[in-house]
């Protein structure tokens, strides 16, 4: 009877005019996702244990709210077409799991695909969008990552708009993450469809280069970062460019993890961790919970940072912040240590997108090192610092 009622509601909802839920993701979403570390090896025990660890590790208090189950949670559709979770992996069901996650002060996310099958070969949502949206709402889902496998013949904007409308008709506010890898320039149309959109292929746990998987390739951190250039005008509160999830804690060096996290904060990227939270090292926890760096990402202006200059292996990024503050991040892309020198009065830092001018010749800024957590002087004197290979110098500039 319950399923029959949902089917009737589903048919009625198809004719409803849709839109995306506003007032969601006003800053880049923060959370955790199963895929980067566990891939298809997901079950309710993992989700419950991770929810516990997100709380005890301090990640929840640092802002990580969404606990997202990626691919391979699916079971089969019933005779009416409604999806069910894999009964062996999720014997208690998704509603009970959502209730547990919510009891921890967290939100639960789930995954589906616009095609006939997901990338992992499970049932996709094509032709079942309204049924799936109603099911997710009934379960208490808060976030949907929507992939792009098995989508031959589909128009990306149309397919994602259909699911947007279905989510809206279901009535539960759900953050909608568009994951079509940037193939169809979602930054040009995604603002009215979703809350974030992938701008790249999948990320991998490496610093630079491309990883060939045979039929497809993933990219290392710097490759995904470089693809954010030229897209900043499309990002802002409620609509974000997504260079893919974090690989912090998944095998890169501590310096690379620190740089990766810093650069994602500079480009106002969603901060979706993907490590084994329950067994992470102290260094990984300190990176993921650095509230000073997180504050750069979560700045309420919602302005994506920009690359200011490249000098040898050093690239300099700036990001305007609230209250006339700025963030500055200098990344050493090379392996060898580099000495960085910056004469503030000789530099003209202007954000052409927002017309913000730092005016270092007219104003003095206090410099706070966000990783050392200490004041290192002001812009009255030139800055000089040694930056290790694959590492960053990250500062908050506070105008006096």
Predicted confidence (pLDDT) per residue in 311-329, tens digit: 999 999 999 999 999 999 9
What is the share, in percent, of the chain residues with pLDDT greater than 70?
96
Give the separation between CA 94 and CA 356, rounded to whole angstroms.
47
From the list 71, 142, 147, 244, the catalytic residue is: 147
The structural domains of the chain, ordered by start, are: 2-297 (3.20.20.70), 306-399 (2.60.40.1180)
List the one residue out of 85, 103, 102, 180 whose CA is nearest residue 143.
Answer: 102
Is a pLDDT exceeding 60 seen at residue 4?
A: no
pLDDT digit string (tens) for 172-210? Answer: 999 999 999 999 999 999 999 999 999 999 999 999 999
**Residue 312 is among the residues annotated as catalytic for this protein:** no
List the one residue out of 33, 31, 64, 27 whose CA is nearest residue 304.
Answer: 27
pLDDT at position 179 is 98
pLDDT tier for residue 13 given thresholds of 50, 70 and 90: very low
pLDDT at position 3 is 52
**Residue 202 is among the residues annotated as catalytic for this protein:** yes
**Contact indicator for 199, 243 with CB cutoff of 8 Å:** yes
Name every residue whose Cβ is closer than 8 Å to that of residue 207 and which is 6 or more positions away in sequence. 220, 221, 222, 252, 256, 390
From the list 71, 142, 165, 202, the catalytic residue is: 202
pTM of the model: 0.95
Give the separation between CA 232 and CA 305, rounded to whole angstroms.
7
């Amino acid at each position: 009877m319950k399923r029959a009622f949902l089917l009737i509601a589903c048919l009625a909802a198809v004719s409803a005019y849709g839109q995306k839920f506003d007032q969601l993701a006003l800053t880049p979403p923060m959370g955790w996702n199963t895929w980067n570390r566990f891939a298809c090896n997901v079950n309710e025990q993992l989700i419950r244990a991770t929810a516990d660890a997100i709380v005890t590790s301090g990640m929840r208090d640092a802002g990580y709210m969404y606990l997202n189950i990626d691919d391979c949670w699916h079971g089969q559709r019933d005779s009416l077409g409604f999806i069910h979770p894999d009964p062996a992996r999720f014997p208690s069901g998704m509603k009970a799991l959502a209730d547990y996650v919510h009891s921890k002060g967290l939100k639960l996310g789930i995954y589906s695909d616009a095609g006939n099958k997901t990338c992992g070969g499970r049932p996709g949502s094509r032709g079942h969008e309204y049924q799936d949206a109603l099911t997710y709402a009934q379960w208490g889902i808060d976030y949907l990552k929507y992939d792009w496998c098995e989508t031959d013949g589909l128009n990306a904007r149309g397919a994602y708009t259909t699911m947007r409308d279905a989510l809206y008709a279901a009535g539960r506010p759900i953050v909608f993450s568009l994951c079509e890898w940037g193939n169809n320039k979602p930054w040009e149309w995604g603002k009215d469809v979703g809350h974030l959109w992938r701008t790249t292929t999948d990320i991998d746990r490496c610093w630079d280069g491309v990883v060939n998987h045979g039929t497809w390739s993933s990219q290392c951190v710097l490759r995904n970062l470089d693809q954010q250039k030229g897209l900043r005008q499309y990002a802002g509160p409620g609509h974000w460019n997504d260079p893919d999830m974090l690989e912090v804690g998944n095998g890169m060096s501590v310096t690379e993890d620190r740089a990766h996290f810093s650069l994602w904060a500079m480009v106002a990227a969603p901060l979706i961790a993907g490590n084994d939270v329950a067994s992470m090292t102290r260094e990984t926890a300190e990176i993921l919970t650095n509230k000073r760096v997180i504050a750069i990402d979560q700045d309420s202006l919602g302005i994506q940072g920009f690359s200011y200059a490249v000098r040898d292996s050093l690239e300099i990024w700036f990001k305007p912040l609230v209250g006339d503050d700025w963030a500055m991040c200098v990344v050493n892309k090379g392996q060898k240590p580099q000495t960085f020198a910056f004469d503030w009065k000789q530099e003209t830092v202007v954000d052409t997108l927002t017309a913000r001018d730092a005016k270092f010749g007219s104003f003095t800024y206090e410099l706070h090192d966000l990783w050392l957590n200490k004041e290192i002087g002001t812009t009255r004197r030139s800055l000089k610092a040694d930056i290790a290979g694959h590492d960053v110098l990250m500062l908050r500039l506070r105008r006096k």
